[in-house]
């Protein structure tokens, strides 16, 4: 006799009773599919650091630069960010997104203990992703008490958040991944304004 909780999975099958009242269960499968399913409808807006600079792409690098209101809201501008929502089978208290500028998506890449941000072509990120971890998927966490401030945690590398660091040799703020041990700091807080 099988106990079935949905059409997607079967949790266990009763096998037999052993001496002294022990019950033996044959485990068949006890999981739901852990996948991300993307929505082709994206939200658009801008993402800014604490200096009110907009996230843009320059070549294959994501950095923050000052933009006027007109420049940041121009549909063809380099500061327009698209947020593709992904539905996850995992129960989380936050939303999952792929974030891209023009045709380049923000991707977390692992190289041993080192984590970094790379720009990849959007075509490389499918609408349906198998598994619970992907370099292009970030969990958006709302900062309590602040209406437009969020943090974005990598689904590939938990406890690693999008952040920004100043690079003196380029005289620019760059999008980076920052490891957070206890509390997310201001260097990971991003302001998002949707159109």
Where exactly are the structural domains of the chain?
Answer: 1-32, 35-194
Q: Is the pLDDT of residue 12 over 60?
A: no
Distance of CA 19 to the CA centre of its chain: 51
Structure tokens, 157: 């590398």
**Which tens digits make up the pLDDT trace of 48-89?**
999 999 999 988 899 999 999 888 888 777 888 989 888 876
DSSP, residue by residue, 4-35: ESSSS-EEEEEEEEPGGG-EEEEE-------E
**First-to-final CA distance of the chain:** 54
* Mean pLDDT of all residues in 101-110: 90
- Measure the CA–CA gap between 99 and 113, rounded to whole angstroms: 23
Percent of residues, the chain, with pLDDT higher than 90: 42
Report whether 7 contacts 157 (CB < 8 A).
no
Q: Is the pLDDT of residue 166 over 90?
A: yes
| Burial 116-138, CB ≥16 within 10 A → b, else e | ebebbebeebeeebeebebbbbb
Mean pLDDT of the chain: 79
Topology, domain 35-194: Trefoil (Acidic Fibroblast Growth Factor, subunit A) (2.80.10)
Q: Given the structure tokens 């006890």, which residue do they identify? A: 30
């Amino acid at each position: 006799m099988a106990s079935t909780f949905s059409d997607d999975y079967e949790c266990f099958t009763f096998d037999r009773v052993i001496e002294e009242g022990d019950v033996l269960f044959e485990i068949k499968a006890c999981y739901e599919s852990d996948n991300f399913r993307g929505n082709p409808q994206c939200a658009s807006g801008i993402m800014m650091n604490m200096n009110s600079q907009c996230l843009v792409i320059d070549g294959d690098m994501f950095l923050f630069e000052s933009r006027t209101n007109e420049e940041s809201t121009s549909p063809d501008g380099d500061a327009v960010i698209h947020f593709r929502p992904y539905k996850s089978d995992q129960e989380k208290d936050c939303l999952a997104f792929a974030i891209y500028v023009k045709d380049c998506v923000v991707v977390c890449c692992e190289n041993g203990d080192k984590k970094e941000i790379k720009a990849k072509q959007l075509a490389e990120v499918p609408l349906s992703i198998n598994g619970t971890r992907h370099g292009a998927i970030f969990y958006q966490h709302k900062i309590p008490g602040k209406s437009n401030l969020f943090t974005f945690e990598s689904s590939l590398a938990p406890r690693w958040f999008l952040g920004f660091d100043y690079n003196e040799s380029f005289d620019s703020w760059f999008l980076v991944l920052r490891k957070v041990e206890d509390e997310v700091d201001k260097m990971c807080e991003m302001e998002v304004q949707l159109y």
